[in-house]
Structure 1
């Protein structure tokens, strides 16, 4: 248990510091949050007293910034071919990076972006990297964490090669990372259910991207099978991944010491899911 840091994407309703209380309730050693309302472009700035309370609770909780994985707004598209929409997204993204800095957090997790069939995937990748480079210059410290996607529609990041190409174009390699979402990875066509498929996928990840860039995991079961290109999460053990996958994952040292976040569909059983996953460790 000591090297695996499990948690879930917890609510910040009632103030961002509520995240620590919600994490404690489910026995989390890590967690994810939104730093603002993810469905709105504009949000009021964080209040000084809320920032102070957040930092105090972080210290008390023993949960370090390395095990907190904030997620940006779903409204952002840093790869949009529309310059106005891209700038709006970039400004929103920079605001969220600044919030992370204010809270003493290290990471900001994002879905890379979508070409919306308006530009080529290659152009989209370049725009995403350019946006990240601009954000890096505007805000210090925060590491941008690219999430693997399911391959729905025109979303980028479902192939390891696409993630690797974005990283390749990012100037400051010390401030870019990757979050593997297990449901998305399966949906994108990477086999995880049996030992052979699991090892092949992990070897590909190492060869194409590199585990040195891995900063977090979204650990989710999937309602649909390998290559479905459908982003439909399921509760641990209720989907198609199977117990063998979770045993393999929980005992894989490559996933030690990083935030492992549940985004499974029933928050009322997160505590039990976390306990169950820890019980699989040998």
Structure 2
């Protein structure tokens, strides 16, 4: 949700379209500038959240951050930026902050995964009393992006000093594009079993609900409205009714705007998802 007009406005916008939980950017996601959050802004946001009835508010990091970068200058800047993001999220009282693991560019996967773990450790060393938990997001695997295999995320969790301070955000579009067959009738069950074996289902703290414009296994990240992509409504029905994911907050990252009838796309997607959750 947009924070235009103040952080509390994101809460109002989410409530207006019928959301029960909320994801927001705490800053411009395409700029390095890290604005401070005043105590007044944080208080207004926390009060708005408390009064709205929304739960499980999370932030998403900047798209410029690359914790796997082999370039020391970019890596250090990324560490600083994610640390600042986590501090803002903590001040706002957010449960989680979602981050893309990063792209290794050159040097290979193993070196990139090591860089990510080192970055996470450095951030946690700087912020020992942080309450907001960092969530690493599954990715589609475009280019040299890491996190598209469950094994990538497992390697990071195995390497960090405080794995209990790190969780996972599962993105439906990304895992589908990465080659995990959640669209098939028995695919979700297979994928969750594999995730449990490699990482552990208890590590999933959030789910991004997005259909995919790109093909299965394409490793291309293109989000679509629910039911208007290659994943399809049946897959979302199975996901929403799967007891292993019960109680985990789920967030839309579908395109913004209005449909041909002037309805807000967030409200349209939410309405469809709720119908799917009730249907058999």
Task: State the TM-score, normalizing by the size of structure 2.
Answer: 0.93
CA contact (8 A) 1:30 1:260 kept: yes
> Helix, strand or coil for the counterpart of 2:170?
strand
Superposed structure 1 runs of 4+ greater than 6 Å apart: none
- Secondary structure of 1:17's partner? helix
In structure 2, the partner of 1:264 is 254
2:2 maps to: 11
Out of 27, 49, 64, the residue aligned to residue 75 of structure 1 is: 64
Q: Does 1:181 align with 2:177?
A: no
CA contact (8 A) 1:235 1:266 kept: no
Equivalent-residue separation in structure 2 for 1:158 and 1:122 (angstroms): 14
* Cα displacement (A) at 1:44: 2.5
Query: 1:129 offset after TM fit, Å?
Result: 0.6
Shift of 1:103: 0.8
The 8 Å contact of residues 30 and 63 in structure 2, kept in 1 or not, is answered as yes
Q: Which has the higher contact order (CA 8 A, sep 6+)?
A: 1
Runs (5+) with no aligned partner, structure 2: 258-263
Report how many residues are paired.
270
Partners of 1:185 and 1:103 in 2: CA distance = 30
2:116 pairs, out of 109, 113, 128, with 128
Q: TM-score, normalised by structure 1?
A: 0.93
Q: Does 2:245 align with 1:249?
A: no
The answer for the alignment partner of 2:45 in structure 1 is 54
Given that 2:34 and 2:81 are in contact with CA atoms closer than 8 Å, whether structure 1 keeps it comes out as no
Q: 2:172 matched to 1:167? A: no
CA contact (8 A) 1:68 1:259 kept: no
1:1-282 matches, within 5 Å, as 10-64=1-55, 67-117=56-106, 119-139=107-127, 140-267=130-257, 268-282=264-278
